[in-house]
């Protein structure tokens, strides 16, 4: 039995007063058919708007990020038969949908190994601005089991928050997590300052719309490995980590997770599940995110901008801090 693929479409308002008239897809793209996913999904649409400024009212086209619901289903064995069950609906941007589904189930503790999965694919009619499918089915191997009572949290996540649908705070933490090894990963302070520029150079849809979050994986030498974008922060991370899970590369003990926005509890937890020892965010972490980082010995860095950053926990993984400080002193002295 073949499983499913998925789609997206959604709109992200600009800072201006907008009058939506007619969506126009940016490009015609073929649907994604394999777990490796494509990056050619239609991810933005042109819409007519009225821009209000000091020059008055002007009609123009604006490019908006697509947002549409994605249903994630799990197909599993029950005795001699196979059953399918819906486990989540999330609002997402098209592209890398199979990775999103696999990453979501992995970081929620539902999947433990790529061997648990036979296939991840999309199905259903093509709808919306992206003309894509809106359901992904993850087909489990016969030996794989799911603790359905624990899963009965009826996940519902929006593009802004991935934990809102969970029934209680007790249900938030993925069971079985352990503190990460303090040794084995270290990155120079100067490399941390360079990460944002490297990621921005690969955020093509953000350049068009200004409406997507980015997540990226780096090595300890500052080499950029992968970038994923989505209207939802947690979706971008699920796509990124889902790709690594499908390839069998987890745990990611020698990798750094970069976030284009803030660092929330949920995103820190996803990194811990994937075995990532360090998170660098352009924005601020939440208090709960810092508490979680301290509990599991994750290095958490925030407010990376203009050659500066804050380390909220795990400074032992940041090397050459003194040389960076000396460099700033040299620059100031020369001014």
Just list the catalytic residues.
161
Taking CA atoms, 208 is separated from 89, 136, 203, 321, in Å, by 26, 27, 9, 36
Catalogue the E-assigned strands of the chain: 24-25, 44-53, 56-65, 68-78, 81-92, 117-123, 135-140, 155-157, 187-188, 213-218, 224-230, 256-259, 278-281, 299-305, 308-313, 318-319
Q: How many CA atoms lie within 13 A of 226 on its CB side?
A: 21
The answer to whether 295 touches 179, Cβ cutoff 8 Å, is: yes
Name residues whose C-beta falls within 8 Å of residue 178's C-beta, 6 or more positions apart in sequence: 296
Q: In the structure encoding, which two tokens stand for residue 89, read together?
A: 């609906």
Q: What angle do CA 192, 197, 203 make, to 5 degrees?
A: 125
Complete edge-to-edge strand list for the sheet that includes strand 135-140: 117-123, 135-140, 68-78, 81-92, 155-157
Whole-number CA gyration radius for the chain: 21
Residue 266 to residue 308: CA distance in whole angstroms:
25
The answer to whether 7 touches 132, Cβ cutoff 8 Å, is: yes
Residue 279 to residue 271: CA distance in whole angstroms:
8
Residue 132 to residue 94: CA distance in whole angstroms:
8
Strands 187-188 and 68-78: unpaired
The answer to whether 164 touches 234, Cβ cutoff 8 Å, is: no
Sign of the Cα torsion 169, 263, 43, 74 reads negative
């Amino acid at each position: 039995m073949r499983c499913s693929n998925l789609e997206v479409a959604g709109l992200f308002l600009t800072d201006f007063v907008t009058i939506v008239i007619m969506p126009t897809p940016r490009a015609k793209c073929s649907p994604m058919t394999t777990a490796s996913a494509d990056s050619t999904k239609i991810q933005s649409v042109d819409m007519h708007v009225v821009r209000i400024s000091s020059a008055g009212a002007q009609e123009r086209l604006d490019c908006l990020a697509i947002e549409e619901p994605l249903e994630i289903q799990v197909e599993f064995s029950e005795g001699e038969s196979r059953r399918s069950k819906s486990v989540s609906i999330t609002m997402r941007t098209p592209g890398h949908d199979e990775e999103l589904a696999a990453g979501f189930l992995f970081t929620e503790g539902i999947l433990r190994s790529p061997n648990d999965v036979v296939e991840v694919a999309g199905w259903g009619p093509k709808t919306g601005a992206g003309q894509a499918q809106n359901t992904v089915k993850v087909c489990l191997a016969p030996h794989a089991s799911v603790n359905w009572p624990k899963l009965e949290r009826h996940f519902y996540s929006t593009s802004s928050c991935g934990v809102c649908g969970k029934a209680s705070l007790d249900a938030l933490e993925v069971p079985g997590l352990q503190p990460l090894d303090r040794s084995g990963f270290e990155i120079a302070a100067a490399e941390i300052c360079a990460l944002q520029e490297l990621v921005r150079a690969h955020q093509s849809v953000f350049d068009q719309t200004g409406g997507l979050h980015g997540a990226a994986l780096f090595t300890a030498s500052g080499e950029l490995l992968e970038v994923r974008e989505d209207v939802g922060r947690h979706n971008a991370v699920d796509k990124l980590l889902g790709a690594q899970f499908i390839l069998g590369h987890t745990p990611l003990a020698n990798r750094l997770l970069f976030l284009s926005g803030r660092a929330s509890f949920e995103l820190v937890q996803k990194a811990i599940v994937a075995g990532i020892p360090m998170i660098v965010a352009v924005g601020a972490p939440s208090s709960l995110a810092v508490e979680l980082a301290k509990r599991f010995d994750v290095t958490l860095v925030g407010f990376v901008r203009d050659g500066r950053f804050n380390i909220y926990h795990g400074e032992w993984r940041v090397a050459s801090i003194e040389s960076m400080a000396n460099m700033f002193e040299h620059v100031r002295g020369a001014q």
